[in-house]
Chain A
Amino acid sequence: MVKKITTNKISHDEIIKAESKNLNFFYADGTQALNNVSLPVYENKITALIGPSGCGKSTFLRCFNRMHDLYPGNRYDGQIILQPDNTNILSDGVDPIEVRMRISMVFQKPNPFPKSIYENVAYGLRVRGESNKRSLDEKVEEALKGASLWNEVKDRLQDLAFNLSGGQQQRLCIARALATEPEIMLFDEPTSALDPIATMNIEELMSELKQKLSILIVTHNMQQAARISDYTAYMYLGKLVEFDATNQIFTNPSKKETEDYITGKFG
């Protein structure tokens, strides 16, 4: 990536948490959904992916937790290097489950399990073999607090999760993803099914979360990207068009296509 040092906000002491290198991705039917995408995710920063529908944002995001492995015939080509251990998480030798234990994900539509609120948050811990009641209780509470849901649910942890409102459900999913102390959290349009207040809550939440971890978020909402992210990547037709500090992208993009998209002339 060529950086224009003069106006650029990418300071040189940013730490790279993960980096995709020449990433190509092919769906089982042969569709190439990603074309040579190289993109860093900086530590304790929010990186937003924007671009028109179908450009490959979700596909890119789902490479980071090897979600594509769930369906036969999908193929990665290239690397995603996770730091500090310098592991290529796409390599055949790396177990996708190990990757998912380090990188968690929040989906577009709230998808709580049809279990109690408590069990939803505890599930990630149980999967890791945690069975001590006391420690589970503590971590569930901590995660729910981290997702600013604790006050609303502390008296009804045993209630079924789908009795919560949509915004609460999404925060519950964030708590579930948070409980396992991931290094990176992936968000795929997490607020697109929510009203403005719930959206605002979750945006504030993400800004707090980045103190502890790194965030990669797909959003359709340009204002959202501008509001919360530190870096923004614009994708089009499976390619990365431009990546830069967010205010750079939104005030002075270097590519004409990016500008057209951001100003609404296209997309």
Chain B
Amino acid sequence: MTIQNKPAANKNLNSIRKTIANHKRYDFIFASLGTLVIASLTITLLILFLDLVIDGYPRFNLDFFSNFPSRRAARAGILSAWIGSSLVLLVTFIVAVPLGITSGVYLEEYAKKNWFSDLIEINVSNLAGVPSIIYGLLALGLFVYSFGLGQSILTAGLTLALLMLPIVIVSTREAIRAIPVHIREAAYAVGATKWQVCHNHVIPYSYGGILTGVIIGMARAIGETAPIITIGALTFIAFLPPSPIGLEPPFLNFEWLDSGFTVLPIQMFNWISRPQHAFHVNAAATGAVIIMLTLLMNGFAIKLRYNIRKKIKW
């Protein structure tokens, strides 16, 4: 019989188990704290959102989206605001995304690493944290007065693009850095040039990360109010910019870039500052629309990123 050995082994085993249990306490504490924090954040957001939805509920109908603002709250809608927001974001997207990706790729792959590139690096990272009103002031001086672009959609789009640029650059660089060295070396080893490596490998493999940056940037841009007010966006607009797409050749026109505009958060701000309760309902409904747009964009991004990442593994 080997029973004699057992008590000793058991004792040993017991002490091992005790140690493990002890150590696992930290897992438990951390996990609980984390759950608590996440839960309280999510619940707060949910309550805010629900509050907006409940307040704004009476206005959720097609008229709200197809009416111009009006002095009569019940007839006022967000047509000019959502079209303004869309056009401004279009400009922002078209400017910030290619510029941001190119800058990120340049800084990561081409720029020589020296004190100057370090300086740029520090600057770009800090720019992402600059208060947006500063961008508004910069834009007012640069785009509105120096370039004479006026208080137009173009100016607003460029301003938000400035705001979004550092976010896209930083996320592009992060994504590029996540590409393993051995994949990069594999590409160079078959005789690819730097451009071929960037074009065929580095950029496509970074799409997931770049996309995240783009969406975060867009989500930030869509809610930005301060810089848009600073450059002097109108708060009451009862007309639409000229359509970007025409029925006759050349089918595209760019007059809309020069048009006055308003955007969703400004429309909301405008209504909330009225004394009548009926306008507050409009404001709440607009807030809910903004949040839903943001969630929609994020959801879309997550899905897209998931699809991209599924195809990339190293």
A residues whose Cβ falls under 8 Å from a Cβ of B? 65, 67, 70, 72, 97-98, 100-101, 104-105, 107, 109, 111-114, 123-124, 126-128, 160, 162, 173, 176-177, 180
Contacts and interface: CB of A to CB of B under 8 A. Distances in A.
B311 A127 contact: no
Interface in B166-193: 180, 182-193
Which one of A67, A70, A112, A177 has the highest number of Cβ atoms from chain B below 10 Å of its Cβ? A70
A107 B185 contact: yes
B113 interface: yes
A98 B200 CA distance: 19
B191 A177 contact: no
B112 A176 contact: no
A70 B183 CA distance: 13
B196 interface: yes
B135 interface: no
A107 B192 contact: no
Interface of B: 112-113, 180, 182-193, 196, 200-201, 205, 311-314
A70 B190 contact: no
A101 B312 contact: no
Nearest to A160: B311
Contacts of A124: 190-191
A236 B112 CA distance: 34
B185 A123 contact: no
B182 A114 contact: no
Contacts of B193: 97, 127
A64 B220 CA distance: 50
17 contacts: A70-B188, A72-B112, A97-B191, A98-B191, A100-B188, A107-B182, A111-B186, A114-B183, A123-B190, A123-B200, A124-B190, A126-B200, A160-B313, A162-B313, A176-B186, A176-B190, A180-B191
A180 B190 contact: yes
B185 A113 contact: no
Contact of A123 (B113, B187, B312): B187
B180 to A, nearest CB: 8
Contacts of A104: 189-190
A140 to B, nearest CB: 13
Given A100-B188, A104-B190, A111 B182 contact: yes
A114 B207 CA distance: 13
A98 B190 CA distance: 10
A67 B314 CA distance: 21
A100 B188 CA distance: 8
Nearest to B312: A114
A109 B184 CA distance: 13
Contacts of B113: 72
A173 B313 CA distance: 16
Contacts of B187: 113, 123
A213 to B, nearest CB: 15
Contacts of B112: 72
A245 B127 CA distance: 62
Given A107-B182, A123-B200, A127-B196, A100 B312 contact: no
> Which of B186, B188, B189 has most A Cβ within 10 Å?
B189
Nearest to A101: B191
Contact of A67 (B189, B205, B311): B189
B190 A127 contact: yes
Nearest to A119: B200
A123 B311 CA distance: 17
Given A105-B189, A162-B313, 20 more contacts: A65-B189, A70-B185, A98-B191, A104-B190, A107-B182, A107-B189, A111-B180, A111-B183, A113-B187, A114-B205, A114-B312, A123-B187, A123-B190, A123-B192, A123-B200, A160-B313, A162-B314, A176-B190, A177-B190, A180-B190
B185 A114 contact: no
A114 B189 contact: no
A30 to B, nearest CB: 17
Nearest to A186: B189
A98 B182 CA distance: 20
Contacts of A111: 180, 182-183, 185-186, 314
Contacts of A160: 311, 313
A17 to B, nearest CB: 18
A261 to B, nearest CB: 28
Given A107-B182, A107-B185, A109-B182, A114 B191 contact: no
Contacts of B183: 111, 113-114
Contacts of A72: 112-113
Contacts of A65: 189
Contacts of B313: 114, 160, 162
A127 B205 contact: no
A177 B188 CA distance: 11
Given A72-B113, A160-B311, A127 B191 contact: yes
Contacts of B205: 114
A164 B62 CA distance: 53
A177 B205 CA distance: 21
B191 A128 contact: yes
Contacts of B186: 107, 111-113, 173, 176
B38 to A, nearest CB: 32
